[in-house]
């Protein structure tokens, strides 16, 4: 697999505050990489550093084969979504894109710029001044700007935050289309369900370091000897009742939570499931459902701190 980005021990300090504390990360050609972290974790600082908007403090990185010293050689192949406060808001949407397109060496026809606006969900807003755009519309035009010049590596910082659900779905489709075209995408989002859906791999940044890295499926695997099971019974199984009953069982079951109408418990092996069902029925419970639960990416994120 070809490396599109390779970051080694990257640090960034603002005065005495260290925001990135030794990031190591490789992104491969054709993948969608999702970057998550709490507010202020350093996601934007990371993006700004690897795109040369701000200077690193130490460490090194390579982008599309060029070292960080030679970033200018590959900048045209990297599409970065600008902050919406950096849009020229006196310009009309299509005028802005064709102006920025020319700067990026992108010589499309007017119809092609209109098609790009349609792709990001701005059909009908081509001739409106950007200053009249809503927050979501500004977000969409900045995504369009990131696509100018046909970049092979596209970096999108919170592309769907503030978008209505339908627009967010369209942007996710656009990301999937771009990946189909062979592009590599780095995106950040606080919508963990979205990151789960669109990303091939996910990195969690916390305290300036990447604390978890893997495919969504890898991250969601429960700890060894800890299988979450959701049970729906009548009457509902309470923590006290489970403690009382399980004292006599020859396998371990621990109460985790009540998530109405389910009771979530941990068992240590899949083989405990039939035993658990049998014991509950023998104790007078009517068993309606019993199923293994996978952690959500949200739970992985909360537990990664």
Closest among 26, 141, 20, 148 to 75, alpha carbons compared: 148
Residue (44 or 142) nearer to ligand ATP, CB: 44
Residue (37 or 203) nearer to ligand ATP, CB: 37
Minimum CB distance to ligand ATP, residue 192 (Å): 13
Residue (158 or 293) nearer to ligand ATP, CB: 158
Structure tokens at 207: 């305290």
Residue (210 or 237) nearer to ligand ATP, CB: 210
Assess whether the previous peptide bond of 225 is cis (omega < 30° from 0). no
Q: Per rule CB under 6 A, is residue 14 in the interface with ligand ATP?
A: yes
Decide: 196 and 216 in contact? Cβ < 8 Å.
yes
Assess whether the previous peptide bond of 28 is cis (omega < 30° from 0). no
Minimum CB distance to ligand ATP, residue 44 (Å): 3
User: Is residue 160 exposed (0-12), middle (13-18) or buried (19+ Cβ within 10 Å)?
Assistant: buried
CB contact burial 243-261 (16+ within 10 A = b; e otherwise): eebbeeeeeebebbeeeee
Identify the residue among 19, 156, 192, 198 touching ligand ATP (CB under 6 A).
Answer: 19
The CA-to-CA distance between both ends of the chain, in Å, stands at: 31
Site string for ligand ATP, 75-104 (x = CB under 6 A): ------------------------------
Minimum CB distance to ligand ATP, residue 60 (Å): 20
Contact partners, residue 72, CB within 8 Å, separation at least 6: 52
Which residues, 20 to 79, sit near ligand ATP by CB under 6 A? 37, 39-45
Q: Per rule CB under 6 A, is residue 235 in the interface with ligand ATP?
A: no
Which residues, 124 to 163, sit near ligand ATP by CB under 6 A? none
Residue (37 or 121) nearer to ligand ATP, CB: 37
Interface residues toward ligand ATP, by CB under 6 A = 14, 19, 37, 39-45
């Amino acid at each position: 697999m070809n490396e599109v980005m390779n970051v080694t021990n990257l640090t960034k300090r603002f005065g005495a505050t260290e925001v990135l504390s030794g990031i190591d990360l490789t992104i491969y050609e054709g993948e969608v990489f999702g970057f998550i972290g709490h507010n202020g974790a350093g996601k934007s600082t990371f993006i700004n550093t690897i795109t040369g908007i701000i200077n690193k403090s130490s460490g090194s990185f390579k982008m599309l084969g060029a070292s960080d010293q030679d970033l200018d050689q590959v900048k045209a192949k990297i599409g970065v979504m600008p902050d919406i406060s950096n849009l020229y808001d006196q310009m009309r949407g299509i005028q802005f894109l064709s102006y920025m397109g020319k700067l990026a060496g992108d010589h499309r026809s007017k119809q092609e710029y209109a098609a790009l606006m349609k792709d990001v969900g701005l059909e009908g807003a081509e001739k409106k001044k950007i200053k009249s755009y809503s927050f979501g519309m500004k977000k969409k035009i900045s995504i369009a700007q990131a696509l100018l010049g046909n970049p092979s590596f596209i970096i999108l910082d919170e592309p769907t935050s503030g978008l209505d659900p339908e627009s967010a779905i369209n942007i996710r489709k656009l990301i999937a289309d771009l990946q189909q075209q062979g592009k590599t995408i780095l995106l950040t989002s606080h919508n963990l369900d979205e990151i789960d859906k669109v990303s091939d791999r996910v990195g969690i940044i916390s305290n300036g370091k990447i604390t978890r890295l893997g495919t969504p499926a890898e991250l969601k695997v429960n700890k060894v000897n800890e299988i979450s099971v959701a049970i729906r019974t009548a009457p509902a199984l309470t923590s006290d009742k489970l403690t009382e009953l399980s004292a006599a069982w020859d396998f371990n079951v621990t109460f985790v939570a009540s998530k109405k109408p389910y009771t979530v418990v941990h068992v240590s092996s899949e083989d405990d499931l039939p035993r658990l069902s049998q014991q509950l029925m023998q104790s007078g419970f009517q068993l309606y459902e019993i199923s293994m639960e996978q952690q959500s990416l949200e739970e992985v994120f909360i537990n990664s701190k």
